[in-house]
């Protein structure tokens, strides 16, 4: 099973906020925008790079 989906299921089933945060970060952590060629990094990665 997809690791992000597993995190979301665990978060919903056990009311685990940390699992939800981790799932969202994995899902949106590093998105590429094909129209502009830009890469959007997740919040934690941006903090580490700064």
pLDDT in tens, 1-50: 789 999 999 999 999 999 998 998 888 777 777 788 887 776 655 556 55
Close Cβ partners of 12 (under 8 Å, ≥ 6 residues apart): none
Q: What is the DSSP string of the chain?
A: --HHHHHHHHHHHHT-HHHHHHHHHHHHSEEEETTTTEEEE-HHHHHHH-
pTM of the model: 0.59
The per-residue pLDDT for 29 is 74
Please state the domain extents for the chain.
3-49
The per-residue pLDDT for 48 is 63
The per-residue pLDDT for 6 is 95
């Amino acid at each position: 099973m997809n690791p992000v989906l597993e995190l979301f299921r665990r978060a919903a089933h056990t009311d685990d906020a940390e699992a939800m945060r981790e799932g969202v970060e994995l899902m949106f952590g590093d998105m590429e925008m094909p129209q502009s060629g830009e890469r959007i990094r997740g919040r934690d990665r941006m903090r580490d790079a700064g």
